[in-house]
Structure 1
């Protein structure tokens, strides 16, 4: 097995584990909070920073004009600390779930029924949605504007239930210098999703996902 295939399997396992952890939260497992300011301090600071960095201002869940509904889920034996934002922006009904190490964006089927489209139209729709949601420059970077390209330009893969793709499959998520260097996208439960890494060059590895709300500092590889 070559290095890229090995990396791909490792990343697929990590992404699947993160998404599965979100899915294990039972109905009613999120506790509503009246305002984002009421989130635990470290989670609140991280959420504001990463949402300002990743999203366009008009799709940022912390944009008060959007009236997002915020909620939190405290870690259990098999789920991490999570923050959820539900709102509509840019003609899209969105559920954004943040863990300490990732941002998962799920697009409601009422907005984009991706599986009802024909093959190439599915990929085109994914790219349109990514362009509408994500900040091409980033509020805290001097990098030039670069759109999130998932799947990568020139590729028209089959996009079906359970499939997933990366914007830059050769890049190791552990070594990202900027969140835009690699983004995942796919379809699960009929819904289009994107997964962004909360990763910068100043941060080695990923943090303990179950200690976000209590400001723990343990690191995991």
Structure 2
């Protein structure tokens, strides 16, 4: 196995671990938050920062006009600290789950049943959702990566396999998430439990590596 293959396996394992950790938390494992100001200070500040960076204002979970429902889950032996935001905006029903190191956006099947579409239409639908939710005004500082001004493109046209249950594809698989200087330079897209999802890394030029996911609250 060469270094590139080993890196790919490490990244795949991290993504799988994050997705599995979120899935292990049952709905009643989240405690509703009536006032977001009651969320622990660091997590609250991080959430405001990353949601403002990643999302268009019209789908930002912290846009008060949307009336998002917020909840938190404190870490256990096999789950990390998590924040959850449930909202409807732009014809989409979204569940946004934040860990200390990632933002997971799940699109509910009630608004987009991705697996009911044929192969090419699935990728096109995923790109339309990405264009609708992600902030286009963030510049990239990652070495070797261009600074696109358009929306996050994932899956990449004509390059990604068909989106099937359990599939995960990357917008930029050549880039190591540990080295990202901007979340926009690599995102993941896939289908889990019949729902389309996007995974964004909470990475910036000021942040090296990933933090302890159980020490956020």
Q: TM-score range by the shorter chain?
A: over 0.9
Contact 2:131 2:152 in 1 (8 A): yes
| Structure 2 partner of 1:89 | 89
SS in structure 1 opposite 2:26? coil
Partner of 2:144: none
Q: Displacement, 1:164?
A: 0.6
1:61–1:87 CA contact under 8 A, matched in 2: yes
Retained in 2: the 8 A contact 1:31–1:73? yes
The alignment's C-alpha RMSD in Å is 1.6
**Which of the numbers 178, 182, 189 marks the counterpart of 1:185?**
189
- Does structure 1 retain, via aligned residues, the 8 Å contact 2:168–2:188? yes
Please state whether the residue corresponding to 1:23 is helix, strand or coil.
helix
Deviation per CA, 1:168-198: give whole Å up to 9, x if none.
0000000001000100000000000000000
Q: Check whether the contact 1:51–1:61 (CA below 8 A) recurs between aligned residues.
A: yes
| TM-superposition CA deviations, 1:9-66 (whole Å, max 9, x none) | 1111000000100111123000001122221100000000000000000000000000
SS in 1 for 2:28: coil
Displacement of 1:153 after TM fit? 3.3
Q: Residue in 1 aligned with 2:73? A: 73
Secondary structure of 1:138's partner? coil
Q: Given that residues 185 and 194 in structure 1 are in contact (C-alpha distance below 8 angstroms), is that contact kept between their aligned partners in structure 2?
A: yes
Kindly report which structure 2 residues correspond to 1:1-221, keeping only aligned pairs within 5 A, or say none: 1-138=1-138, 145-213=149-217
Which range moves more in the overlay, 183-192 or 33-42? Answer: 33-42
Count of matched residue pairs: 212
Equivalent position SS for 1:206: coil
Structure 1 unpaired stretches of 5+ = 214-221
Q: Which runs of 5+ in 2 are unaligned?
A: 142-146
- 8 Å CA contact 2:140, 2:185 repeated in 1: no
TM-score normalised by the chain length of structure 1 = 0.92
Deviation at 1:2, TM superposition (A): 3.1
